[in-house]
Amino acid sequence: MLIDSHCHLDYLDRNGVDLDEVVARAGRAGVGLMVTICTKVTEFPTILAIAERFPNVYCSVGIHPHEAESEPEVTAERLVELAQNPKVVGIGETGLDYFYEHSPREAQQKSFRAHIAAARETGLPLIVHTRDADEDTIGIMRDEYEKGAYPGLIHCFSSSAWLAREAVSMGFGISVSGIVTFKTAEALRDAVAEVAMDKLLVETDAPYLAPVPNRGKQNEPAFVVHTAERLADLKGVPLSELEERTTENFLSLFKKVNPSALAA
């Protein structure tokens, strides 16, 4: 059984995809649970409604760094309040994106710290997006860690081995997406090869980043199997072991998830 630790079912729904079919295809592929991720707190009710519709779908609450300026400023207290719903199992996605810089860096950093405070208070994992911002991401994470520990993961890992080592040293997980299957991703595969098995998770980031052999298609949770196969090959373990370990890692990090929610 696999878990897609990060997807955007609301985006698929918006694109006209039947979510009942998406969840059914995931189940047939051996994907027993999904976390649909919030990128705009103003759209949280929509994300929550999707999670409440399916027994094996959970969600997060947060603001993507791209939206740090356009969304209403969110406080840690507000995030904590919204996270009380039993279907909310993570805080984010949040973090820093200096590649596109759709929001000013200062706004991104302020939002990131508010999310970290909420993760610290709730004990829910912080879901971190980072692109072209390795040093500032780790700098803020370490600065906040000194105020008190908090759980989390680097989602859709595509950064340096240094960032992975720094994040793991704080107890963070590393979530691997379909990028690991791309022909040009040799440096990423080298970095992921260094990460211990007990820190690895898998995700799709659907509808983006469909893995080989589905490149060019709209991604969906069922396709996480291809990422898992490539990761198992990279780590030199059978797929069954990779499935077991990443599922254990997910449940260890996302402690609010009821294991009985995994589809049979």
pLDDT > 60? residue 14? yes
Tokens of 145: 């860690």
Structure tokens at 129: 């997006």
pLDDT of residue 253 exceeding 80, the answer is yes
User: Quick one: pLDDT at residue 264?
Assistant: 46
Question: How crowded is residue 157: how many other Cβ atoms within 10 Å of its Cβ?
Answer: 26
Give the whole-angstrom CA distance, residue 144 versus residue 120.
9
**205 labeled binding residue:** yes
Confirm whether residue 115 is marked as ligand binding. Answer: no
Q: Is 129 annotated as a binding residue?
A: yes
Find how far residue 138's CA is from the centre of its chain: 17
State how far the Cα of 210 lies from the Cα of 251, in Å rounded to an integer.
24
**Mean pLDDT of the residues in the chain:** 97
Residue 262 has pLDDT above 90, yes or no: no
Give the pLDDT band of residue 75 (cuts 50, 70, 90). very high
Domain holding 212, by residue range, is 2-261
Question: How far apart, in whole angstroms, are the C-alpha atoms of residue 59 and residue 215?
Answer: 26
Q: Return d(Cα 108, Cα 94) in angstroms, integer.
A: 8
Q: Which residues of 6-41 are buried (b: 16+ CB within 10 A; e: fewer)?
A: bbbbbbbbeeebebeebbeebbebebbbbbbbbbbb
Whether this prediction's pTM lies above 0.85 is answered by yes
* 6 annotated ligand-binding residue: yes
- Segment 176-203 shows an average pLDDT of 97
Write down the residue that tokens 């200096």 correspond to.
Answer: 98
Average pLDDT over residues 11-40: 97
Q: Which pair of tokens denotes residue 178?
A: 């379909």
Q: To the nearest 10°, report the CA torsion of 100, 69, 58, 29.
A: -20
> Which residues are 83's β-sheet partners?
none
At residue 261, the pLDDT reads 83
The token pair at 128 is: 């971190």
> Is pLDDT at 84 greater than 60 in this prediction?
yes
In the prediction, which pLDDT does 263 show? 58
Mean pLDDT for the stretch of residues 90-113:
97
Reply yes or no: is the peptide bond before residue 104 cis, omega within 30 of 0. no
pLDDT level of residue 32 (50, 70, 90 thresholds): very high
Between helix 224-235 and helix 239-253 the angle, nearest 10°, is 110
Report the number of distinct structural domains present in the chain: 1
Is 205:156 a contact under the CB 8 Å cutoff?
yes
Question: pLDDT value at position 260?
Answer: 86
| CATH assignment of the domain containing 224 | 3.20.20.140
Q: What would the DSSP string read from start to end of 33-88?
A: EEEEPPS-GGGHHHHHHHHHH-TTEEEEE---GGGTTTSPP--HHHHHHHTTSTTE
User: Is 66 marked as binding a ligand?
Assistant: no
Ligand-binding site membership of 64 (annotated): no
